Amino acid sequence: VSGVRKIVVTELLSLDGVAEAPDSFFGWDDAVDAKIPELIATQDAVILGRRTYNEWVRFWPSSQIEPFATFINGVEKYVATSKPLDQEWADSTVVEGGLVEFVQDLKHQPGGDIGVHGSISVAQALLAADVVDELTLAIAPTIAGRGRRLLDGLPPIQLESIRSEISPTGYLIVDYRLIREGSANEPASATRGSGGRRISS
């Protein structure tokens, strides 16, 4: 194991890949719930986009939804924003300079895994820059039909699924490892990147 921290992106998606406003299509069951403590156990920093920060700062400080409330309120939060933040939240820092450079630097500092939760623009920028190590998706058995999609506009990326399960109510929970150029791993799967024909748009 190298000393470099992993960047772990976690997103709730509809089957058609929409990551925006998951509350409108996403439900929870025990298997989805069980994923949360497992994910956050290894994370001691998170990177949030401005929109996710502004929504979450209004919700989580007074929330009693555990264990995520304790985690997100106490964890080191780095916020990618070019504007001042609406409200203060303990342990939050605005990212100065370029996001990708910041994250690459953070990865080489001592610490645990670095999480990206929601924050679609941040997730997309880090995926496109090839600095993400793992992508955890919980995919709802729903076609949202509208909303921002997580995987639009990305270059082709090779993924390897390292764990997957289907929850009792039909949520597909998959952990992918991103395969880097020159990696010893055989590409087992892929996203297609832009180009090609989708069955829904």
Query: In terms of CB distance, is 47 or 151 closer to other proteins?
Result: 151
Residue type, 60: W
177 secondary structure, DSSP code = E
**Residue 72 contacts residue 60 (beta carbons within 8 Å):** yes
Query: In terms of CB distance, is 45 or 159 closer to other proteins?
Result: 159
85 secondary structure, DSSP code = -
Q: How far is the CB of 191 from other proteins (least distance, A)?
A: 4
**Residue 73 contacts residue 90 (beta carbons within 8 Å):** yes
Q: How far is the CB of 165 from other proteins (least distance, A)?
A: 9
43 secondary structure, DSSP code = E
- Residues binding other proteins (CB under 8 A): 15-17, 139, 149, 151-152, 154, 159, 161, 164, 166, 172, 174, 176, 186-193, 195-200
Q: How many residues are there in the chain?
A: 201
Query: In terms of CB distance, is 94 or 154 closer to other proteins?
Result: 154
d(CA 55, CA 28): 20
Q: How far is the CB of 42 from other proteins (least distance, A)?
A: 22
Query: In terms of CB distance, is 106 or 158 closer to other proteins?
Result: 158
Q: How far is the CB of 193 from other proteins (least distance, A)?
A: 7
